[in-house]
């Protein structure tokens, strides 16, 4: 990744060769020159002092020089300079309780509005808590050192240092049950279709409340960004869908369609002579669900492919304990998830997502022009049809 770093950070000058009039240089001077030559490809650590005028870009490029700060600099530069090129389709996976902390409003929605996110996978919990903001409910800054028994008695729910009224859950549950009862939901559908249809209702609620840009679901609906959930039963949204099933509601999630649609998005990006980039916020099931698109294409469907072109992950997990979901970039190559030729274009930043994501967003917004939204939701049927045709061709070739 030296090419990324050296693009913005001053490097040492290489020493000139010892020829001509320089032949009289002492052995000590020759040794110093040799050392300088050896290090000439590496940026010198020589930051500018931080003052009140420093921008986010300069802070990242000029002062994030080592350790995980350097990885964050590499992440910002990789995302902005390579992953946001016009021919790259960007997928984002989301885990951790980020939307309750307001990061949907602060970071994810601006990224979508700038055309920097083309499709997503997320935990259902993030989308459930995202809905609170869209329908006019509030979350509050609290403390992680509260007495939870006392909070329970007061009807206050805690997510680490976030507080909200228990009634927020009840009102959000009621919203989902009302929406799910609508005729358009009485069928089997992918989670992308489900979130798109729910997003339409949240978007309308925002309009009635005189607000906008409060909900990831509503913004994804408006921008045509498909959002998938790898474990749709594992959230309060899934719990309410299950409750409605006891009342003969016909909504069912088609997880096979989710697998095939996401694979079709990636294959479509590659077959259009473009690239596929993956930004992983956290890890877990959404991460694997997004990365497994390439093994689905190559291993299961037998379609010739090489893997995602760009891999950028922000995580606080470790690979040696199994908490990194078995997929560092190098390890992912062995599964066919990452193109081995593109392994140098990967970054893993071991940092709290609540710190890294806002900085990454600010850096990208400041340094890259808006991209035209791809509206991949609108192209799902065509992409899936193309994947199906390619798979059928592969099956015919196998039978010969």
pTM for this predicted structure: 0.88
CATH number for position 205: 3.40.910.10
pLDDT of residue 211: 96
Same-domain check for residues 16 and 102: no
pLDDT tens digits for range 247-266? 999 999 999 999 999 999 99
pLDDT at 397: 87
For residues 338 and 292, state if they share a domain: yes
**Pair (293, 391) in one structural domain:** yes
Instruction: For residues 261 and 316, state if they share a domain.
Output: yes
Same-domain status, 68 and 27: no
Give the number of other Cβ atoms within 10 Å of residue 51's Cβ: 7
Answer with the residue of higher pLDDT: 322 or 81. Answer: 81
Q: What is the DSSP string of 133-159?
A: HHTT---EE--TTS-HHHHHHHTEEEE
Among residues 187, 200, 337, 396, the one annotated as catalytic is 337
pLDDT, position 3: 43
pLDDT surpassing 50 at residue 8: no
- pLDDT band, residue 1 (cuts 50/70/90): very low
Listed as own residue / partner, the contacts of 181-189 with beta carbons closer than 8 Å and 24 or more positions apart are 181/244, 181/249, 185/249, 185/250, 185/251, 186/249, 186/250, 186/251, 187/250, 187/251, 187/252, 188/251, 188/252, 188/253, 188/254, 189/251, 189/252, 189/253, 189/254, 189/257
- pLDDT at 34 > cutoff 70: no
Q: CB-hemisphere CA count at 13 Å for 2?
A: 8
Residues 332 and 381 in one domain: yes
Say if residue 19 is in the same domain as residue 63. no
Mean pLDDT, residues 5-23 taken together: 39
Identify whether residues 272 and 315 lie together within a single domain. Answer: yes
Q: Is 157 within a domain? A: no
Tokens of 301: 């469907």
275/392 same-domain check: yes
Q: pLDDT band at 28, cuts 50/70/90?
A: low
pLDDT score recorded for residue 6: 37
The more confidently predicted of residues 279 and 14 is 279
- What digits encode the pLDDT tens for the residues 343-359? 777 899 999 999 999 99
Evaluate if residue 18 carries a pLDDT over 50.
no
Same domain, 35 and 87: no
Instruction: Count structural domains, the chain.
Output: 2
Question: Does residue 64 fall inside a structural domain?
Answer: yes
% the chain with pLDDT above 90: 78
* Least confident span in 21-35, 75-89, 278-292, 370-384: 21-35
Give kind and range of the element (H or E) at residue 103.
Answer: helix 103-103
Mean pLDDT of 209-223: 97
When the pLDDT of each residue in the chain is averaged and rounded to a whole number, the result is 90
Which helix H or strand E contains 315, and what residues bound it?
strand 310-315
Mark whether 25 and 90 lie in a shared domain: no
- 299 inside domain: yes
The verdict on residue 180 lying in a domain is no
- Which residues form the domain of 33? 2-39
- Is residue 333 a part of any domain in this protein? yes
Give 23's pLDDT tier (boundaries 50, 70, 90). very low
Least confident of 52-66, 197-211, 344-358: 344-358
Whether 148 is covered by a domain: the verdict is: no
Least confident of 91-100, 146-155, 220-229, 333-342: 333-342
Domain shared by 29 and 97, yes or no:
no
- pLDDT score, position 22: 47
Q: Give yes or no: 52 in active site.
A: no
What's the whole-number mean pLDDT along residues 66-78?
96
pLDDT digits (tens, 9 = 90+) for 266-318: 999 999 999 999 999 998 899 999 999 999 999 999 999 989 999 999 998 87
Q: How far apart are CA 148 and CA 122, in angstroms?
A: 28
């Amino acid at each position: 990744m030296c090419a990324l770093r050296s693009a913005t950070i001053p490097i040492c000058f290489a020493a000139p060769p010892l020829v001509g009039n320089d032949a009289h240089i002492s052995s000590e001077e020759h040794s110093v020159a040799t050392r300088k030559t050896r290090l000439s490809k590496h940026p010198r650590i020589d930051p500018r002092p931080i003052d009140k005028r420093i921008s986010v870009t300069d802070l990242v490029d000029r002062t994030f020089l080592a350790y995980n700060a350097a990885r964050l600099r590499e992440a910002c530069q990789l995302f902005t300079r390579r992953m946001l090129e016009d021919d790259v389709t960007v997928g984002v996976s989301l885990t951790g309780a980020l939307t309750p902390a307001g990061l949907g409003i602060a970071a994810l929605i601006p990224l979508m509005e700038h055309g920097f996110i083309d499709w997503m996978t997320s935990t259902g919990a993030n989308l459930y808590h995202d809905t609170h903001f869209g329908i006019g409910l509030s979350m509050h800054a609290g403390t992680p050192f509260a007495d939870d028994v006392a909070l329970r008695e007061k009807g206050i729910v805690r997510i680490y240092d976030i507080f909200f009224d228990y009634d927020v859950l009840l009102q959000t549950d009621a919203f989902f049950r009302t929406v799910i009862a609508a005729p358009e939901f009485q069928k089997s559908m992918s989670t992308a279709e489900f979130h798109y249809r729910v997003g339409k209702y949240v978007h309308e609620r925002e309009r009635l409340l005189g607000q906008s840009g409060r909900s990831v679901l509503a913004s994804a609906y408006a921008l045509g960004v498909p959002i998938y959930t790898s474990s749709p039963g594992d959230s309060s949204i899934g719990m309410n869908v299950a409750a409605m099933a006891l009342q003969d509601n016909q909504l069912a999630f088609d997880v096979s369609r989710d697998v095939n649609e996401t694979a079709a998005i990636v294959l479509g990006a590659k077959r259009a002579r473009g690239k596929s980039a993956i930004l992983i916020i956290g890890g877990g099931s959404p991460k694997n669900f997004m990365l497994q698109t390439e093994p689905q294409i190559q291993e299961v469907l037998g379609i010739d492919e090489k893997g995602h072109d760009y891999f950028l992950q922000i995580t606080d997990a470790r690979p040696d304990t199994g908490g990194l979901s078995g997929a560092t970039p190098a390890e992912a190559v062995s599964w066919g998830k990452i193109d081995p030729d593109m392994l140098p274009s990967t970054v893993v930043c071991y940092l709290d997502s609540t710190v890294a994501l806002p900085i990454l967003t600010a850096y990208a917004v400041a340094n890259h022009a808006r991209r035209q939204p791809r509206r991949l939701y609108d192209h799902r049927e065509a992409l899936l049809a193309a994947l199906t045709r390619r798979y059928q061709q592969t099956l015919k070739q196998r039978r010969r």
